[in-house]
Amino acid sequence: AQSVTQLGSHVSVSEGALVLLRCNYSSSVPPYLFWYVQYPNQGLQLLLKYTSAATLVKGINGFEAEFKKSETSFHLTKPSAHMSDAAEYFCAVSDGGGSNYKLTFGKGTLLTVNP
């Protein structure tokens, strides 16, 4: 069975500081990995996805994530936080096999950006 652990339910950074949101996964087969963002009272929007091509994946709004198989991690980073980045971020994994195409989500990390 696949699972996702997001370390830190709440991360607070200053505007202009590095953003690092942690995600570790468990999967019995090579996984597909996703990061989503949710702004208040809205649905989820895809930031980026890893599908076994390049291990460093670039997404929208300056975010990127690196797939590290040895660490079973897929941490999300952004070099310089902007006020508009304040939102909740979800990491998700799919095993991609048979009926397991469905996504399993982490519990989310709320990002606060301080002026």
Partner 1 sequence: DVKVTQSSRYLVKRTGEKVFLECVQDMDHENMFWYRQDPGLGLRLIYFSYDVKMKEKGDIPEGYSVSREKKERFSLILESASTNQTSMYLCATQGASTNTEAFFGQGTRLTVV
**Dihedral sign, Cα of residue 58, residue 26, residue 90, residue 111:** negative
Task: Find the shortest distance in angstroms from Cβ 42 to partner 1.
Answer: 6
- Count of all residues that appear for the chain in the document: 115
- The residue behind tokens 């690092």 is 20
Nearer to partner 1, 41 or 115 (CB): 41
Nearer to partner 1, 22 or 49 (CB): 49
Of 12, 14, 26, 42, the one binding partner 1 (CB under 8 A) is 42
Q: Which stretch binds partner 1 (CB under 8 A): 16-24, 31-39, 62-70, 72-80?
A: 31-39
